[in-house]
Chains A and B, each alone.
Chain A
Amino acid sequence: MLGCGGGRRAAVTCLLELRGVDKTFFTDRGPVHAVRQMSMTIEAGEVVGLVGESGSGKSTVANLVLGLEQPDAGRIRFRGRDIGDWLAAESGAYRQAVQAVFQHPFQALDRRKRVGWLVAEPLVIHRRGSSRQRAERVEELMADVNLDPSLVDRYPHQLSGGQAQRVNIARALALEPSLLVCDEPVSALDVSVQAQILNLLLEIGRKRAMAMLFISHSLPVVRHLSDRTVVMYAGIAVEQGPGGEVSDRPAHPYTQLLISAASMTGDDPGTGRRAMQEAVPPQGCRFAPRCPMVIDRCAAEEPGLEELYEGRSSRCWRSHEFLDI
C-alpha cells in the first residue's frame, strides 16, 4: 500500500491522502459505485494525473476532494486532517488552500458578472486587501495567466473559450492555493488552445510549487503534465506510478488499452459504466470482461493493488509479466 510516507519515509509531507474511499450514487437505474476502495496520495508541490475514460469516476474523486460530495466510507485527509473536519471547523482555510478549475469554462463563470469582478471574487470572499489592492491583484493575476488587462470589463460571453478558462485559472490562483484540482480543464476547448492552457497550468504549477490533481481522459496529456499518474477504471485505481513510466511501460491491460487508439474509438466505452452499476461485484477482476490479456485466474479472483516496486503499483495478476520483473 502506498501510504503517505508509509513508514518507509516517515517524515514525508503528505498534502492529500485518500484511503479506502467509497462513493455510491443512487439513481433511478440502481446504485452506481462511482468510486471504490480508492487510495492515493499527493505530496506538496507534486502534480498527480488521474486518467480514465468518461464514467470511470475520476470527476467524483475531484468532487470528493473539493468537499462537494461526501465519501460513504474511507477517509480523505488534507494535511493530516479529515476534509469533513476542515470544512466544519475552518472551511475558509480549506477553501483558500484547495482550489479548482472545472471542465466547462463558460458554465463555471457567472454570466452576469464581469471578468474583473469574477477574478476579484475570491479576494472579496476571503477579505483580502482593500478594494484598491484587490484591483492591483486582479491585474497581476490576469498578467500571470496571459490575459489582456483590457478584458476586465467584459462579460464571459464576450470571451473565447481559452480566455474564459484563463479567467477560471486566475480565480483559482487568487488565493495562492497549495492544491489545485483540475477536472478536465481542456477537454471542452479547441484543440489549438488546449496546449496553451496545459502549458500555462504546468508553468504556474512549477513556479508556485503548487500541487495539482490533474484529471483527464487522455493519457498523453496526463503524461505531459504529471509527476505521477493514477489510472482509474470503473471507480477503481488500477495502476499508479511515475508519469512517464505508466505510459511507456504500462503494467495494467487497461492502461495499454488507453494508450492504443483502439480504446478511444473501437471499444465499447459503456462497459466501465456498466461495471460501476453491478450491484454485487463479480468475483474476479472488474476489467476481465474487456481485457485482451485475460487468464482463468482473472475470473475467479480479484487482484488487489500490489506494489510492483517503489512508487509503482497495479491491480493485475499479470503485471510482473508485462513489466518483465
Chain B
Amino acid sequence: MSAADLPAVPDALAAAGSRRAGGGGRGVLWWAAATALGVLALVAFPGLLAPGDPYSLEVSNRFASPGSANLFGTDDAGRDILSRVIHGARYSLWSSILIVTFAAVVGTVYGALAAWYGGILDRLLMRTVDVFLAFPYLVFAMAVAASLGRGLTSTMVALCLLWWPSYARMVRGQVKSILNDYHIRAAVTLGASRGQILRWHVIPHTYNQLLVRFTLDIGNALVALTGLAFLGLGATPPLPEWGRMVADSKQFALTAWWYGVFPGVVIFLTVLNFVLLGEALRKRVEL
C-alpha cells in the first residue's frame, strides 16, 4: 500500500495539530503578558480608568444592579463597585507584587549565601528555612497578622515573613548546581573573586527560573492576601481591597449577587492570568 492510498488527513486537523505543537504557548504568553500590563495600568492610574470615586457614599443608590450607570452595580453604601474594583488593584495586586518582590530578593541573597559558603553556615541557614516552611502558612500568617494588629500592612508583613524561605531553598539548589559548572572553573582560573563569580556568573543564571516563579507567585500571593482579608485579616474598611469586598458581600449574597461576584471574578481572572503567564514563561525558558 503506497502513501497515496491512505486517507488524506483533513487540512483543518493537520493545521490544528501543528498549531498546538508550535505557536500555542507563545499565543498564551502574549495574551497573558498584555493582560498583566493592563492590570498593572489599573495599579498605576486608577483615577484615570475608574468611572467614579470608590469612596463616595450614595445611600439613595444602594444595591443598584449592574447597568449603564454602574457597570458592576453598587454596594450596601451605594458605592460604585467597578470603581472600587479598579482602585482595589492598588491594594490587592500591588501588595501581592510587593510581598513576592521582597521574598524573591531576600530569598535569593539568603539562598545564594548558604550555597556559596556551604558547611555549617549552610546547614544553619537551611534548617532555619525548614522551620519556616514547616508551619502551615495560613495559620502562621493569621497568628502574625493578628499579633501585629489588624490592617493591610500587618498582613503584608506576615506574608513577607512566610514567602521568602521557599525562594531561599530554590535559589540555594540552583546556585549549588551552577557552582559545579565548568564556566565557574574558568572564571576561577581567570582570577575572579568570590563576589565577582557570584554576581557575574551565578546569580544571572537563576534569573529565568526566578522570573517564572515570581510570576506564578504573584497569583499565589494574591490568593493568600485576599483569602486572609476574606477571613477578616487585612485591609480595614473603607479600603476597596478585593478580598475584603467579597467578605463584606457575604450577607447580601442572595439580594445583591453582583456585590461579591464581580470582585471575586476579578480575583479569579487576575490569579489565572498570572499563573498562565508564569506557565507560558516556563515553557519558553525550558525550550
> Which chain A residues have a beta carbon within 8 Å of chain B's beta carbons?
66, 68, 91-92, 95-96, 98-100, 102, 104, 107-113, 121-122, 125-126, 168, 171, 175
Contacts and interface: CB of A to CB of B under 8 A. Distances in A.
A102 B186 contact: yes
B185 interface: yes
Contacts of B204: 112
Given A110-B200, A112-B205, A125-B196, A102 B182 contact: yes
A109 B183 contact: yes
Which of B182, B191, B196, B201 has the largest number of chain A CB atoms within 10 A? B191
B190 A125 contact: yes
A272 B190 CA distance: 32
A98 B188 CA distance: 12
Contacts, number: 53
Interface of B: 181-183, 185-193, 196, 200-201, 204-205
Contacts of A91: 191
12 contacts: A66-B189, A68-B185, A91-B191, A96-B191, A107-B183, A108-B183, A112-B205, A113-B200, A121-B190, A122-B191, A125-B190, A125-B192
Contact of A108 (B182, B192, B196, B205): B182
Contacts of B186: 100, 102, 108-109, 168, 171
A109 to B, nearest CB: 6
Nearest to A98: B189
A96 B189 CA distance: 9
Contact of B182 (A99, A104, A113, A122): A104
Given A110-B200, A110-B201, A112-B205, A95 B183 contact: no
Given A98-B189, A112-B205, 20 more contacts: A66-B189, A92-B191, A95-B190, A95-B191, A99-B189, A99-B190, A100-B189, A102-B182, A102-B186, A104-B182, A108-B183, A109-B183, A110-B187, A121-B200, A125-B193, A125-B196, A168-B186, A171-B186, A171-B190, A175-B191
Contacts of B188: 68
A222 B54 CA distance: 80
Contacts of A175: 190-191
Contacts of A68: 185, 188-189
Nearest to A110: B183
A107 B182 contact: yes
A92 B191 CA distance: 6
Contacts of A66: 189
- Which 7 residue pairs spanning A and B have beta carbons closest together? A95-B191, A107-B182, A108-B186, A100-B189, A110-B183, A122-B190, A112-B204
Contacts of A126: 191
A206 B51 CA distance: 78
Contacts of A113: 200
Contacts of B189: 66, 68, 95, 98-100
Nearest to B192: A125
A89 to B, nearest CB: 14
Contacts of B196: 125
Nearest to A99: B189
A84 B91 CA distance: 57
Contacts of B187: 110, 121
Contact of A102 (B185, B192, B201, B205): B185
Nearest to A113: B200
Contacts of B181: 107
Nearest to B181: A107
A12 B205 CA distance: 47
A104 B205 CA distance: 19
A171 B192 CA distance: 13
Nearest to A102: B186
B196 to A, nearest CB: 6
A137 B116 CA distance: 33
A80 to B, nearest CB: 21
A14 B200 CA distance: 36
Contacts of B185: 68, 102, 108
A159 to B, nearest CB: 14
Contacts of A111: 183
A137 to B, nearest CB: 15
B188 to A, nearest CB: 7
Contact of B191 (A104, A109, A112, A125): A125
Nearest to A117: B200
A99 B204 CA distance: 25
Nearest to A66: B189
Contacts of B192: 121, 125
A110 B199 CA distance: 12
Nearest to B184: A110
Nearest to A63: B185
A157 to B, nearest CB: 13
A181 to B, nearest CB: 8
Nearest to A174: B190
A110 B190 CA distance: 13
Nearest to A171: B190
A175 B190 CA distance: 9
B120 to A, nearest CB: 21
A171 B191 CA distance: 12
Which of A99, A111, A112 has the largest number of chain B CB atoms within 10 A? A112
Contacts of A110: 183, 187, 200-201
B117 to A, nearest CB: 19
A174 to B, nearest CB: 8
A102 B186 CA distance: 8
